[in-house]
Amino acid sequence: MPAQKRSILARLLIWRIKNISNQRFVYILSIIVGFLSGVVAVIIKNGTHFIQLLLEGKLIADYYSAFYFIFPLIGLGITYLVIKYLIRNKVSHGIPSTLFAISKEKGLMRRFQMFGSMIAAPITVGFGGSVGLEGPTVATGAAISSNLSRVLHVDQATRTLLIGCAAAGAMSSMFKAPIAAIIFAIEVFSLDLTLVSMVPLLLASVSAILTSYFFFGNDVLLPFKETDTFNISNIPFYIILAVIASLVSIYFAKTYAFFQDLFEKIKSPIKRLFIGGLSIGVLIYFIPPLYGEGFDIINDIVKGRPELALQNNIFNLDLNSVWMVIALLSGLVFFKIIASALTFGAGGVGGIFAPVLFMGSIMGNVVAKIINNCGLFPNGVSESNFTLVGMTGLMAGVLYAPLTAIFLIAEVTGGYELFIPLMIVATISFSMTKYFIPHSVYAMELGKKGDLITHNKDHAVLTLMDIKTVIERDFISVNPQMNLGEIVNQAVVKSKRNIYPVLNKETKALEGIILLDDLRPVMFNQSLYEEMKASELMHHPPEVINLNEDKMTEVMKKFQDTGAWNLPVIRNGEYYGFISKSKLLTAYRKKLIDFSRN
Higher-scoring residue by pLDDT: 261, 302: 261
**Which of 90-99, 397-406, 465-474 comes out lowest in average pLDDT?**
90-99
pLDDT higher than threshold 60 for residue 305: yes
Nearest CA among 173, 162, 69 for reference residue 107? 162
pLDDT higher than threshold 90 for residue 366: yes
Higher-scoring residue by pLDDT: 321, 455: 321
Per-residue pLDDT band at 188 (split at 50, 70, 90): confident
Phi-psi region of 106 (alpha: psi -120 to 50; beta: other; left: phi over 0): left
The values of phi and psi at residue 547, to 5°, are -65, -30
pLDDT at position 63 is 52
Q: Which whole number is the average pLDDT over 452-468?
A: 59
Render pLDDT for 507-532 as a digit per residue (tens, 0 to 9).
Answer: 889 999 998 888 888 888 888 888 88
Model-level pTM?
0.78
Q: Which whole number is the average pLDDT over 120-138?
A: 91
Phi-psi region of 507 (alpha: psi -120 to 50; beta: other; left: phi over 0): alpha
pLDDT at position 59 is 47
pLDDT at position 195 is 66
**Which of 35-39, 145-149, 194-198, 406-410 comes out lowest in average pLDDT?**
194-198
pLDDT higher than threshold 70 for residue 27: yes
* Domains in the chain, CATH or no CATH each: 2-216 (1.10.3080.10), 232-454 (1.10.3080.10), 460-596 (3.10.580.10)
Buried b (16+ CB within 10 A) or exposed e, 300-326: bbbeeebeebbeebeeeeebeeeeebb
pLDDT higher than threshold 70 for residue 420: yes
Render pLDDT for 431-451 as a digit per residue (tens, 0 to 9).
Answer: 999 999 887 887 766 555 555
Per-residue pLDDT band at 32 (split at 50, 70, 90): very high
pLDDT higher than threshold 70 for residue 86: yes
Nearest CA among 307, 350, 357, 369 for reference residue 333? 357
pLDDT at position 258 is 92
Render pLDDT for 174-187 as a digit per residue (tens, 0 to 9).
Answer: 888 899 999 998 88
pLDDT at position 495 is 85
Contact call for residues 429 and 242 (beta carbons, < 8 A): yes
Render pLDDT for 526-563 as a digit per residue (tens, 0 to 9).
Answer: 888 888 888 888 988 999 999 888 877 788 888 888 88
Beta 566-571 vs 545-546: how paired, if at all? parallel
pLDDT at position 144 is 93
Contact call for residues 579 and 569 (beta carbons, < 8 A): yes
pLDDT higher than threshold 50 for residue 597: yes
Cα separation, 481 vs 495, whole angstroms: 19
pLDDT at position 300 is 83
Task: Looking at 346-414, list the stretches that DSSP marks H as alpha helix, in order from N- to C-terminal side.
Answer: 353-373, 383-398, 402-413
Cα separation, 348 vs 141, whole angstroms: 19
